[in-house]
Structure 1
Amino acid sequence: MELRNLRAFVEVVRRGGFTEASKIVLTTQSAVSKSVKLLEEELDLKLLDRIGTKSALTAAGEIVFRRAVKMLAERDDLMAELDALRGLRRGSLRVGLPAVGSDALFAPIFSAFRGRYPGIDIQLIEGGSRHLEDALRAGEVEIAGLIQPISPDFDSALVRHDPILAICAADHPLAGQTEVALEDLAEEPFILFDAGFTMHGLLIEACKRHGFTPKVIASSSQISFMLKLAAGGLGITFMPQLIAEMNAHESIGRIGLADRDIAWGMTLAWRRGAFLSRAAEAWLQLAASMGVCAAPADGAVKPPPR
């Protein structure tokens, strides 16, 4: 059973089609289709039920997908362990970072890491926390920036813990207040991050705890767009304090939330029990030495060679 055929099949399932999968595995759509067909022929089972341009997993396909994800993750662990034998003169590091806060929190690490280890190729994946959790479990990335709370499947080091602020138009009646109770916003239209972002679920759950379901008029992954909608008076949006301060403007007002439990906690996370490449260890140690994250627990990460 060839791993490249398994990889093609997994990406077809995860990306929702052959075209998107071909962009991930860097080949043609016809080559991806052929790989899946070869896998089906080898197993003598139909894995995908093709309906027009859509594909759905068969019962056999669900089993193969679940096992294939684990097999590919093991393969990546194997390659990472072999890379460790080569030191840090060459190799690769796969990092997943969220769209929110990465420019401020992680850009300095990229620059410092590149200067210290020029032979290491850094491959970056961006997305919401839920997407990055899936990528971390599947072994597509070794380290990911995840928002708390995180799954017990992962070890982590805290990067930053920020209160979440309500953002409204500068002429909104609430704009002059320093603090507001979440329930006082129950009649306001909300502008939230997309459902793939942890902050979306965090705000929805917080509203339910305070006795109401928010009226969400827009969801987006674009910070600047959300802030412009709020500045235009279309509704209230919510940002971690770091992001709100970076995007301070006279057209918007920033208001603290009375509920201090509504907070944004950024971590660097990795699969619990997985082998970390020397490059990943070096990344975490460098981040800790730069004060970007807390030092990992003793024994979790070995000091990298200099």
Structure 2
Amino acid sequence: MELRQLTYFLEVAKHKSITKASEALHISQPALSKMIKSLEEELDMTLIIRTNKTSELTDGGFIVMEYAQKVLSQIDEMSITLNDLTSLKRGSISIGLPPIIGSLYFPSVMAEFHKKYPNISINITEYGAAKVVKGVEESEFELGVAVLPVDENEFNIYPIVEDEMKLLIHFNHSLANRDVIYLHELKNEEFIFYHEDFALHDIMWKKFIAEGFEPKILFKSSQWDFMSEMVGANLGVTILPESICNRVENKQVKIMNLEPVTPWNLAVITKKNKYISYAARTFIEFFL
């Protein structure tokens, strides 16, 4: 059964005349009659009683008319909905976002995006960056914000931030008068560190191991403001991205350069070979 058959049938039912319906459809009467006949043969039922002056529906014809109206109405609604999606009058985006990153870059971007596309809903789930990558890989989110590097064979990568790690120490610390601190000099320090599901945990842990020691962990946290306040209370040291350090207002904390330099680069990622909605694609373009 073809949609065109139903469309032509409804036109005949509307006009109660093959002649008038053919004129409205701009096709010949024989062609229209053939189309109606093929529909009747397919359904194995007479739908229209034809006379010289009129074409009346049978009981079966009324049922087909009712369902044909519903089907074509749904098709029209589908077209309108698809048009709304492509013109971004509706839609939704699911994003995986690390807490440390979210407070830095996203509030202003979200506000501007919502202002421009008020009918697009944004569903945010906060995970550590490592868990965000897994969530995108398993299609829990369309988009994720991740700390690079990630597997380029698995993900499309849209870089958004280039940063580097800095050391936070108490202003009375014995190293506070230095211009640069070398990572191996922190062997005996107590660290306020990140939870295991944060990408920073693995990044810095590998750095420490490369320098010949495992860090002494005093506290673990997912909140950069808590971590910096612990440093301000002289409970230990921590290492955070420079863009976060720039927000630390505690006067007891001093921010130091670290060697070797550890980059902290962020990107929006999507899973390769997976459909990405119009709304999500627009968000990526907007963010970049």
Specify if TM > 0.5. Answer: yes
Q: Which runs of 5+ in 1 are unaligned?
A: 1-81, 289-306
Matches within 5 A, 1:128-207: 128-152=128-152, 153-207=154-208
The equivalent of 2:126 in structure 1 is 126
Secondary structure of the residue aligned to 1:168 is strand
Question: How far off is 1:84 after superposition?
Answer: 7.7
Structure 1 pair 279/169, CA: closer, same or farther in 2 (3 Å)? same
Matches within 5 A, 1:135-284: 135-152=135-152, 153-260=154-261, 262-284=262-284
Q: Distance in 1 between matches of 2:234 and 2:85?
A: 56
Is residue 86 from structure 1 mapped to residue 85 from structure 2 by the alignment? yes
What does the per-residue CA deviation read over 1:201-230, in whole Å, with 9 as the maximum and x for residues that have no partner? Answer: 111100111111111111111112111211
The equivalent of 2:17 in structure 1 is none
Q: Which runs of 4+ in 1 moved over 4 A?
A: 82-85
Whether the 8 Å CA contact 1:84–1:277 is kept in 2: the answer is no
Normalised by the length of structure 1, the TM-score is: 0.64
Q: Distance in 2 between matches of 1:117 and 1:94?
A: 15
Whether the 8 Å CA contact 1:176–1:253 is kept in 2: the answer is no
Whether the 8 Å CA contact 1:98–1:145 is kept in 2: the answer is yes
Shifted more, 242-251 versus 275-284: the winner is 242-251
Q: Distance in 2 between matches of 1:115 and 1:206?
A: 42
Whether the 8 Å CA contact 2:232–2:250 is kept in 1: the answer is no
Q: Distance in 1 between matches of 2:106 and 2:229?
A: 25
Whether the 8 Å CA contact 1:101–1:242 is kept in 2: the answer is no
> Which amino acid in the other structure matches residue 229 of structure 2?
K
Question: How far off is 1:248 after superposition?
Answer: 3.5
Structure 1 pair 224/86, CA: closer, same or farther in 2 (3 Å)? closer
What does the per-residue CA deviation read over 1:264-305, in whole Å, with 9 as the maximum and x for residues that have no partner? Answer: 1111111111111000110011112xxxxxxxxxxxxxxxxx
Shifted more, 235-244 versus 112-121: the winner is 112-121
Question: How far off is 1:142 after superposition?
Answer: 0.8
Secondary structure of the residue aligned to 1:104 is helix
Q: Which runs of 5+ in 2 are unaligned?
A: 1-80
Matches within 5 A, 1:21-36: none
Equivalent residue pairs, number? 206
CA RMSD between the two structures: 1.6
Secondary structure of the residue aligned to 1:100 is helix
Secondary structure of the residue aligned to 2:246 is helix
Question: How far off is 1:85 after superposition?
Answer: 7.2
Question: How far off is 1:176 after superposition?
Answer: 2.3
